[in-house]
Amino acid sequence: MYPHERSLVKKMHNKPFVLLGVNSDKDRDALKPVLEKEKITWRSFWNGGSTNGPISQLYKVSGWPTLLLIDAKGVIRYKWLGAPSGDVIDKAVEKLVKEASALAKE
Amino acid sequence: MRVACPECDTALRLKDDLPPGKQVRCPKCQKLFAVPEADTTAVSSKPAARRSAVADDDMDSDDSRRPVRRFKKKKQQSTSALPAILIGGFAVLLLVGAAIGGGIYLLSRDTKSTNVASSSTEPNRPTPRPEMSAPTPTPTPPRPNPEAMQPNGPGNIPPPFVPPTPPNGPGNGSPFVPPTSPTGINPNVPPQTERPKPEPKSDFPEGVGLEVGKMAPEIAGEDIDGKEFKLSDYRGKVVLLDFWGNW
């Protein structure tokens, strides 16, 4: 998961794309070394130290990982429960990034 | 000769050479009956037919020309025809009585159920009573049904009426009005089905939701370093939102 996310973030560096996490780990301090070790540079919401935190409750997430791909207008366009293959994510991201670029030019 | 069918009273023309006592079938009602004596033709009603059968016996006993064998045969048939007619008439009376009784029973049940229905809905929803008056007439259309079922006798009446109540009972009414009779639950179906619908919508404003095609609900929180930020900060960019944990 992390390697693909790293490469995706790198590939989309100058594109209208951002990877955001919602982290449900218990201990923020224990997580910080992991972020460094795994080179997790992207930002994550803190879910209150629990899988049952406010954000996962708001989004009714009950399985991990769950991924949502939201377009430039804020509309949910894809939803994956469990990690899909990197190709699947890449294709969907590229499609929506194209849409976002076209939208920006208008 | 002309004969009236003992079953349906249809006037029938028989060949004159038919021996009295011969079984013939009425072409209208398919009833088998014995050809009566020539003297007792043109029977117009059932009681008359019964009387004529008795008369046949008297005539037969007086008639000396007829062979004994035939006389015996005739007597058997005439005596057996009498109880048959009695049973037939009794059965008809029974059917009509049962049908009328069943009809009255269903009608009384019907009115009872509508009464219970209207009284049970009043405490629940006092304001939309005009709406509720609409469902109460709907139970009345089934009234023609019991009447239509009357010819089938009483056996068919309870089953068509019992099934409609359980589907409504446990499905919709049980959490709401357990004490009322199962028939009274029917009109509570509309409020029950209406209530769950707005609830999912009330979670999010219009157009916002968790399904694909809906606006993602706003997230306002803080990051792992405690810095506040929002999902909508990234509007204009494609966002891959990853619910994750390092476990």
- Domain spans of chain B, in order of start: 2-66, 84-168
A49 lies in which domain range? 2-105
Please judge whether A43 and B223 are an interchain contact, meaning their C-beta atoms are less than 8 angstroms apart. yes
- In chain B, which residue's Cα lies nearest the Cα of A8? B240
Mean pLDDT of B218-245: 97
CATH code for position A43: 3.40.30.10
Highest mean pLDDT pick, A7-11, B15-19, B172-176: A7-11
Q: In this complex, is the C-beta atom of B221 within 8 Å of any C-beta atom belonging to chain A?
A: yes
pLDDT digits (tens, 9 = 90+) for B90-126: 777 778 777 776 666 666 555 444 444 444 444 444 4
pLDDT digits (tens, 9 = 90+) for A79-89: 999 989 999 99
pLDDT reading at B130 higher than 60 = no
Highest mean pLDDT pick, A30-44, B20-34, B41-55, B170-184: A30-44
Q: In this complex, is the C-beta atom of B205 within 8 Å of any C-beta atom belonging to chain A?
A: no
Question: What radius of gyration do chain A's Cα atoms show?
Answer: 15
Handedness of CA B95, B97, B100, B105 (dihedral sign): negative
A94: its two tokens = 């590229």
- In chain B, which residue's Cα lies nearest the Cα of A22? B243
DSSP A39: T
> What is the C-alpha separation between B94 and B61, in angstroms, rounded?
35
Highest mean pLDDT pick, A23-32, B10-19, B171-180: A23-32
> What is the C-alpha separation between B212 and A76, in angstroms, rounded?
5
- By Cβ distance, the residue of A34, A67, A74 closest to B240 is A67
> What is the C-alpha separation between B105 and A28, in angstroms, rounded?
74
- Residue B14 confidence class, pLDDT cut points 50, 70, 90: confident
Provide ipTM, 2 decimals: 0.97
Q: In this complex, is the C-beta atom of B228 within 8 Å of any C-beta atom belonging to chain A?
A: no
Q: In this complex, is the C-beta atom of B223 within 8 Å of any C-beta atom belonging to chain A?
A: yes
